[in-house]
Chain A
Amino acid sequence: MDKLFDRRIVFVGGKGGVGKTTTAGALALMAAESGRRTLIVSTDPAHSLGDIFDTRIGNEETSLGPNLAGLEIDPEAEAEQHIATVKMSMKSLVAPKMYREVDRQLDLARHAPGTMEAALLERMADLMAEARERFDLLIFDTAPAGHTIRLLSLPEVLGAWSDGMLGHRDRSRKLGNLLKVFGRDHAREDAFGMIGGSKEEPDDSRDGRIQSILLNRRRKFHRARELLTDPTITAFLLVINPERLPILESKKTLDLLKKFNIPVTGMIVNRLLPSDVDGEFLRERRLQEDQYRAEIEQTFARLQKVYLHLLPHDVHGVETLREIGLHIVGQLGDSSGDASRPIEA
């Protein structure tokens, strides 16, 4: 367990409703109580982190107890801010009568597909890069799997994109330099009294600005990608229920994570029925559960697993979270701490 908490970043993912937030919350509480300054971040657009801790958490880091802070990223607010910045710089370049046009166009951009994800990713990348100074451990309570996979693959896609754009700028600059070799000698033209009117406007400052924006982007994406794919820094925990659909989806998730080289460390099998259930209905469910459990054992044989039973009451407040957290920590401790081994399916 110590090994899990010695990472800098832990992602908790899985299908919707399997218990990601509960697991992430319990882990965060355990980490905080072991003395690590912990930040738990919810990236699900429909936040429930605050509900579990019974506190209002917003788009700002909120204290949830000793060593523990929570944050619910609001991608809409992030995107709003980003677009406001662009608006400002665009308005400094166009005539005032164009302001309405600028507003209209950029407001449309805010609703473009991908804007929210990009804004969310931006905030996550910033956190991963700079929260190190304030926190020992970052726990991300992610949105349902498909969304998260896309999010985690963005640094790669966008890294490639900024590489490509910089390549274009590079070729353009080389051609520009070549142009200078063949260039007109304005001094001499003036000496001969020729028309020197078609002097090119200086492109250098524009090029410089474009270059620095793109380079900044690339640095950020590549840094995020480096952190995500380093198994000594990042761990990904998959939460699953002993049911058909979560098993199927987890298989796909695992394949995708593998494709993007994101190390999956362990699996939390949540909501198992207790062994002493009574009644015909529950007994039948338990028989079915045994089958699925066997399937999980087989399919995800190489992942370290933690089993959690269905509780007789809702998860609500720190006490219940601690109870769950102790269960997880106990089971991880039993299995000779091989959580540090990067495991693939």
Chain B
Amino acid sequence: MKWAGIKKKLRWLAYLATEAYNAPYRGAVARAKREQDDLFMLLIFSEMMGVPNPATYYTLELQPIMLEKFHEWHKRAGMEHSPLDDFRCC
């Protein structure tokens, strides 16, 4: 009984230690990935933001897939609604 309790506490401590080490890295990597994804998304929607894009015709077919990400992005960027007049997702 007592052993089981100690074992559980030790596992808990080990978990805390791992997290204490991993969490900052995880945060940094997650941020980097998100930045990468945001850039990709902005490239897809670039034409709408007034940036000429040689491949508008082809980004068009990627837009439906990115719709959800676009919504997440403008929320994260502190805009409650889509910042683009001619493209509203919510």
- Alpha-carbon distance between A335 and B68 when the two chains are bound, in angstroms: 63
Report yes or no: B55 in contact with A175, Cβ–Cβ below 8 A.
Answer: no
- Taken together as a complex, chains A and B put the C-alpha atoms of A182 and B57 apart, in Å, by 38
Inter-chain contact A93/B64, CB cutoff 8 Å: yes
**Can you list, as one digit per residue, whether each of B1-17 has a CB less than 8 Å from chain A (1) or not (0)?**
00000000000100100
Interface string of B32-60 (1 = CB under 8 A from A): 11001101100100010000001111101
B57 touches A82 (CB 8 A): yes
Bound Cα distance A93, B66 (Å): 10
Determine the interface band of chain A, counting residues with CB < 8 A from chain B.
35 or more
Determine how close the nearest CB of chain B comes to the CB of A120; give it in whole angstroms.
Answer: 10
Report the separation of the CA atoms of residues A214 and B65 in the bound assembly, to the nearest whole angstrom.
12
Q: Are A90 and B63 in contact, with the CB atoms below 8 A?
A: yes
A213 to chain B, nearest CB (A): 6
Q: Specify the chain A residue showing the minimal Cβ separation from B39.
A: A168
CA–CA, A172 and B55, complex, Å: 21
- Assess the A165–B26 pair: CB atoms within 8 A: no
Interface residues of A in 227-262 (CB under 8 A from B): none
From A200, which residue of chain B is reached at the shortest CB distance?
A: B30
Q: Which residues of A contact B60 (CB under 8 A)?
A: 82-83, 86, 106, 109
Residues of B within 8 A of A101 (CB): 87-88
CA distance A9 to B46 in the complex (A): 35
Could you say which residues of chain B place their CB within 8 Å of the CB of A195?
A: none
Complex: A172 Cα to B61 Cα, angstroms: 20
Chain A contact surface mostly: helix
Say how far B49's CB is from chain A's closest CB, in angstroms. Answer: 13
In-complex Cβ contact of A158 among B39, B54, B67, B89 (8 A) = B54
- Is there an interface contact between B29 and A178, defined as CB atoms closer than 8 Å? yes
A173-200 interface bits toward B, Cβ cutoff 8 Å, 1 = contact, 0 = none? 0011011001110001000100000000
Q: Which residues of A contact B37 (CB under 8 A)?
A: 172
Closest A residue, CB atoms, query B54: A157
Where the two chains meet, the residues of A that have a C-beta atom closer than 8 Å to any C-beta of B are 79, 82-83, 85-86, 89-90, 92-94, 98, 101, 104-106, 108-109, 112, 114-115, 118-119, 122, 157-158, 161-162, 165, 168-169, 171-172, 175-176, 178-179, 182-184, 188, 192, 206, 209-210, 213-214, 217
Instruction: Give residues in B with beta carbon < 8 Å to A.
Output: 12, 15, 22, 25-26, 29-30, 32-33, 36-37, 39-40, 43, 47, 54-58, 60-69, 86-89
